[in-house]
């Protein structure tokens, strides 16, 4: 059943739950962070409206810089501003930032330990009709491997706002992953959020498997757990912070449940699932199944159809749960 301590949205499992784009939460959070700290500045690569930095630009025009279609310049300019004591948030599509400017992020930002916040919008397969060239499904992998980088993938707009506010004060280079489409609102203002601390969204009695996920696809995991409530007992963990990962909680739940399914809208190689597997292999080795994209590029299509095509639908998670339970000794 839904975790009471998580204080989730009352209509989270309704047929038609409330849906808001994650990027809206970022936009709200950025304005709030800027009101609280005059050093918060915003930079964008010609995508101010799409990334929801527009409200910040309108309220704080003297603290906003439009770089244009020049993502490498976006990164180095943000790093320079951070060196002068500012707290820069730089936004673009995830395919372009960190996709196009990774070396500048690595060397100019992280090597120098500049507290720049890289916000990658339109990540994942659910970008839809923009197609494979614009569907960032490798971004978690390339960002979590950089020393000093914090990586956060919120599950909904409410959590995206909380993450934005938290990153504004964490003092570290950070990556915030956002989706394009409207996605179900799963959390509330009362749901706990702390960088590096995962929390349970669902817990059944005597759990047989833990689902560890991040991002909006966690809603499919909740649907799967609800469908199997009388068959397989499940815990669902929202691992919104991929780095630093909540290794203690993951190791404990792997030991308690004896099986793991990871769920992410990303390549299964190098992403959150790989990070979880690294922890489980070192602490409590148990069977694991991975839900995500399997070593292929994306393509154009409707978001829901693409999620099904690439094996991230509710039925795919149910199948993975059945497989992993059978593999338990």
Give catalytic residues, as residue numbers: 71
Burial class (CB in 10 A: 0-12, 13-18, 19+), 4: exposed
Please provide the DSSP assignment of 43-59 as one string. Answer: EESS-TTTTT-HHHHHH
The C-alpha atoms of residue 242 and residue 219 are separated, in whole angstroms, by: 18
Q: Measuring CA to CA, how many Å separate 248 from each of 147, 163, 276?
A: 20, 21, 11
Q: What are phi and psi of 90, to 5 degrees?
A: -115, 130
Cβ atoms of 76 and 108 within 8 Å: the answer is yes
Distance CA 95, CA 98 (A): 7
Q: Which of 7, 310, 291 is nearest to 162 (CA)?
A: 7
Q: Answer whether 201's CB lies under 8 Å from 3's CB.
A: yes
* Contact predicate 298/306, CB 8 Å: yes
Structure tokens at 200: 């349970």
């Amino acid at each position: 059943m839904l975790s009471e301590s998580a204080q989730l949205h009352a209509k989270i499992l309704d047929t038609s739950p409330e849906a808001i784009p994650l990027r809206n939460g970022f936009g709200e959070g950025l304005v709030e962070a800027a009101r609280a700290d005059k050093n918060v500045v915003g930079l964008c690569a010609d995508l101010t409206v799409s990334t929801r930095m527009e409200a910040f630009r309108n309220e704080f025009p003297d603290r906003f810089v439009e770089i244009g279609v020049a993502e490498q310049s976006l990164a180095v300019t943000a790093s320079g501003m951070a060196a002068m004591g500012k707290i820069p948030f730089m936004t673009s599509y995830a395919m372009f930032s960190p996709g196009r400017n990774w070396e500048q992020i690595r060397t100019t930002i992280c090597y120098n330990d500049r507290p720049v916040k890289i916000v990658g919008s339109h990540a994942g397969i659910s970008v839809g009709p923009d197609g494979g060239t614009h569907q960032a499904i490798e971004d978690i992998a390339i960002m979590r491997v950089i020393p000093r980088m914090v990586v956060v993938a919120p599950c909904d707009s409410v959590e995206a706002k909380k993450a934005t506010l938290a990153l504004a004060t964490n003092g570290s280079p950070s990556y915030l992953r956002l989706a394009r489409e409207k996605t179900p609102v799963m959390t509330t203002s009362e749901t706990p959020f702390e960088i590096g601390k995962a929390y349970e969204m669902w817990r059944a009695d005597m759990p047989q498997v833990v689902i560890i996920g991040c991002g909006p696809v966690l809603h499919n995991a909740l649907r799967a757990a609800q469908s199997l409530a009388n068959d397989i007992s499940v815990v669902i963990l929202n691992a919104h912070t991929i780095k630093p990962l909540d290794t203690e909680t993951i190791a404990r739940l792997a030991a308690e449940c004896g099986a793991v399914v990871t769920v992410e809208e990303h390549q299964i190689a190098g992403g959150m699932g790989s990070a979880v597997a690294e922890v489980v292999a070192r602490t409590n080795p148990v069977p694991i199944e991975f839900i995500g994209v399997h070593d292929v590029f994306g393509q154009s299509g409707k978001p829901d159809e693409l999620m099904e095509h690439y094996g991230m639908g509710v039925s795919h998670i149910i199948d993975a749960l059945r497989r992993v339970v059978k593999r338990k000794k």
